[in-house]
Amino acid sequence: MMRAQRLLAAMLVQLLAWCAQAGAGADPYLPQRLEMVRCQIEARGVSDPRVLAAMRRVPRHRFVPPRLARLAYRDYPLPIGQGQTISQPFMVAVMTEALRLGPKDKVLEVGTGSGYQAAVLAQVAGQVYSIEIIPQLQEQARARLARLGYGNIHLRTGDGYLGWPEAAPFQGIIVTCAPERIPAPLLEQLAPGGRMVIPVGPRRGVQELVLVEKDQRGNVHKRRLMPVRFVPLVR
């Protein structure tokens, strides 16, 4: 039995390697992306199969400046212009998994940035609403997501602190920039039974990644997940 299991595992590894090589012609970064998920994300505790599949599928190198494409699958943030960054892959996966999104759920993202987090969310949720306050980044993200064929992502330029009230309520809310306290409008727009993940803390220094859960009665429960460092939420 053990020998059969070892043989099966070896066959699976060979199959994955073959698939990576076959796909590398169309996407030369595919092997790096598979390695990123295996070593940086799955090995560090992210286990939701839909999140892992999304991280394997979304081409992060398409969301960074071309000169940084070779660094796209390293486990750290990268600059995307306008003083903003694309989050490290592990953090994107952790925050996405924390939302526990279903395929029909509606999710709000505050801080579109490059559009990478929105693209990952679009793989696991039904509809994604994403707000960016910097017009240049919003325009670039819109063009990029359109080229990649994402049809379930809705973008707008505006103050993310205020959320997207006409599209609320949301089963999930993810904030990719740090306010000093949780915005009241976002709490109001979170659906009963919904979850929000948000970095909270000072503009400069270490913040806390907080998971907010709203029960069916509308009561809000908060739990700290880990120390993080995000760019500040701009009003």
Closest CA to 183 of 158, 215, 159, 207: 159
pTM over 0.85: yes
Q: What is the DSSP letter of 207?
A: E
One-character DSSP codes across 111-162: --TTSHHHHHHHHHSSEEEEEES-HHHHHHHHHHHHHTT--SEEEEES-GGG
pLDDT under 70: residue ranges of the chain = 1-25
Q: In this predicted model, what pLDDT tens digit does every residue of 110-129 receive, in sequence order?
A: 999 999 999 999 999 999 99
Active site residue 47: no
- Using an 8 Å Cβ cutoff, are 137 and 81 in contact? yes
- Residue 58's pLDDT is 98
pLDDT reported for residue 30 = 97
> Could you tell me which residues come within 8 angstroms of residue 214 by beta carbon, excluding any fewer than 6 positions away?
187, 190, 191, 192, 193, 194, 195, 196, 220, 221
Could you say which of 47, 87, 114, 130 is catalytic?
87
Give yes or no for a contact between 137 and 117, defined as CB atoms under 8 angstroms apart: no
Q: What pLDDT is stored for residue 205 in this prediction?
A: 83
pLDDT for 197-222, tens place per residue? 999 999 888 999 999 999 999 999 99
Residue 212: per-residue pLDDT:
98
Q: Identify whether the C-beta of residue 112 lies closer than 8 Å to the C-beta of residue 138.
A: yes
**Taken in order 201, 169, 51, 81, is the CA torsion positive or negative?**
negative
Q: Which CATH number fits domain 2-228: 3.40.50.10240, 3.40.50.720, 3.40.50.150, 3.40.1830.10?
A: 3.40.50.150
Q: What is the pLDDT of residue 204?
A: 82
What pLDDT sits at residue 3?
Answer: 52
> What is the model's pLDDT at position 110?
98
| Contacting residues for 51 by C-beta, under 8 A, at least 6 apart | 93, 96, 97, 120, 124
What are the C-alpha distances in Å from 150 to residues 8, 37, 153? 36, 22, 6
Region for 217 from its dihedrals, namely left if φ exceeds 0, alpha if ψ lies in -120 to 50, beta otherwise? alpha
